[in-house]
Chains A and B, each alone.
Chain A
Amino acid sequence: MDRIPILKLGNSLLVTIQVDMHDRLATALEEDLTEKIVTLGAKGVLIDISALEIVDSFIGRMLDNIAAVSRILDADTVVVGMRPAVAITLVELGLSLSGVKTALNVDRGMAMIQRRLQLDGANADDEG
């Protein structure tokens, strides 16, 4: 079975979803990401959904899960590139994705992750 490729981008992981995923593929992605966050010590996860024409509750739950798991593993997940039609539909569907950070594109998402890391670093210095 094809798996969705996960790239290393600095201290973060980048996933670009370009196919209409069937459920097994989505579950596999969750597992792969969780594993890679740990093995590569990633501090951030960028999920690029700019190619997705549909995000239903299953995909929404996958994104929520990835965000929750990564948080436990001390990494930030940012979902980027959501299409307007998808955002409007998600809101109507009732999926708030409140546990998931979002940004317009990969650059902004990455900047978000780095900002949070800097803040954390500054806090750690204060405490130390």
Chain B
Amino acid sequence: MAVTETSTVATLVTDHEGEILPEWLALQKKAGALESGRIRDAELTAQCRKFLHFLCDGLEAGVIDSAHTSFAPLREFLGDISRSRAVQGFSPSETATFVFSLKQPLFDTMNRDKGISPTQLAETTWTITRLLDQLGLYTFEAYQKGREEVIARQQREIAELSTPVVKLWDGILALPIIGTLDSERTQIVMENLLQTIVDQGSEIAIIDITGVPTVDTLTAQHLLKTVAAARLMGADCIISGIRPQIAQTIVHLGVELNVVSKATLADAFAVALRRTGRTVTKVRPAATGGPVEPGE
């Protein structure tokens, strides 16, 4: 049963491409596809032609299910179109219209074809409707997916930008963390930190949590994981910026912060310098010929 319907549609499309294509194009242009020059006539025509070609290929398997492997090339093609339409500034509905607007020309062509019986007409109409609906929805989904990928990528970029790893001195890094530290962010922090330790050969990493609003058990665990990971790479950590309330919370939670902690980043830096065998000395001003005051 299915084979006759799909082969009817396939024959219809192949035989009457000359009528279907211009009608389909006309409908899309009427809906505003070419406005503001976001897509050129030639490009649109080529896409329509390709769609019809893939559609016929898919119909050959005789399965009226757009998820079937026979329609894989068509789906891939629609996926590409969705992505490029999104970039060209089409809305998801406008993108799906690419598929839906094909219904009318197909129905019109079928009606004009005197060789089809009324029952065949009804069944084939239903077949086309089902298939094109599925494909139209697929286009819509593909568009959404493209958008979601962009958002996910941007989120990741924001996460990376908001946890910079800063070199304070040779072998000493600082990680100022702003905002909450959830498990996803911890992953990014760990990856950045460890890679920087490798790239710069750092021995000490100062994790500053001044900008972390609250520390609960999970956050504390994330911090400890980060410290443990850095240790495995041969780098020691110092945690700085622990506010009094946070210190109390940590104690009340019973979390054991088995890592050196300092109140401020400055204190931590001083410790780090000492540990790496350095001191900070005041520079004597160059002799200008005048007397040098005692105790200067």
Contact = CB atoms under 8 A, between A and B. Distances in A.
Interface of A: 80, 82, 84, 86-88, 90-92, 96-97, 102-105, 108-109
A104 B198 contact: yes
B201 interface: yes
Given A103-B234, A104-B233, 9 more contacts: A82-B232, A84-B229, A87-B194, A87-B232, A88-B187, A91-B229, A92-B225, A102-B234, A109-B234
Nearest to B202: A104
Contact of B234 (A80, A88, A96): A80
Contact of A84 (B194, B203, B225, B231): B194
Contacts of A90: 229, 232
Contacts of B232: 82, 86-87, 90-91, 97, 102
A122 B187 CA distance: 43
Contacts of A102: 231-234
Contact of A87 (B187, B201, B229): B229
Contacts of A80: 234
- If over half of B's interface residues share one DSSP class (helix, strand or loop), that class is named, otherwise mixed; here it is helix
Interface centre among B187, B191, B231 (most CB of A within 10 A): B231
Contacts of A97: 232
Nearest to B235: A104
B191 A88 contact: yes
A92 to B, nearest CB: 7
Interface string B221-244: 000010011111111000000000
Nearest to B192: A84
A106 B234 CA distance: 11
Nearest to B227: A91
Contacts of A91: 190, 225, 228-229, 232
B142 interface: no
Interface string B185-211: 001001100110110010100000000
Contacts of B203: 104
22 contacts: A80-B234, A82-B232, A82-B233, A84-B190, A84-B191, A84-B194, A84-B195, A84-B229, A86-B232, A87-B233, A91-B190, A91-B228, A91-B229, A102-B232, A102-B233, A103-B234, A104-B197, A104-B198, A104-B201, A104-B203, A104-B233, A108-B234
Residue of B191, B201, B233 most packed against chain A (CB within 10 A): B233
A104 B234 contact: yes
A103 to B, nearest CB: 4
A128 to B, nearest CB: 27
A91 B227 CA distance: 10
A113 B10 CA distance: 78
B194 A88 contact: yes
Nearest to A79: B232
A88 B233 CA distance: 10
A84 B234 contact: no
A84 B187 contact: no
A5 to B, nearest CB: 23
A8 B17 CA distance: 79
Given A104-B197, A104-B198, A104-B201, A84 B233 contact: yes
A108 B201 CA distance: 10
A87 B234 CA distance: 10
A82 B230 CA distance: 10
A80 B234 CA distance: 8
Report which residue of B190, B195, B235 has the largest number of chain A beta carbons within 10 angstroms of its beta carbon: B190
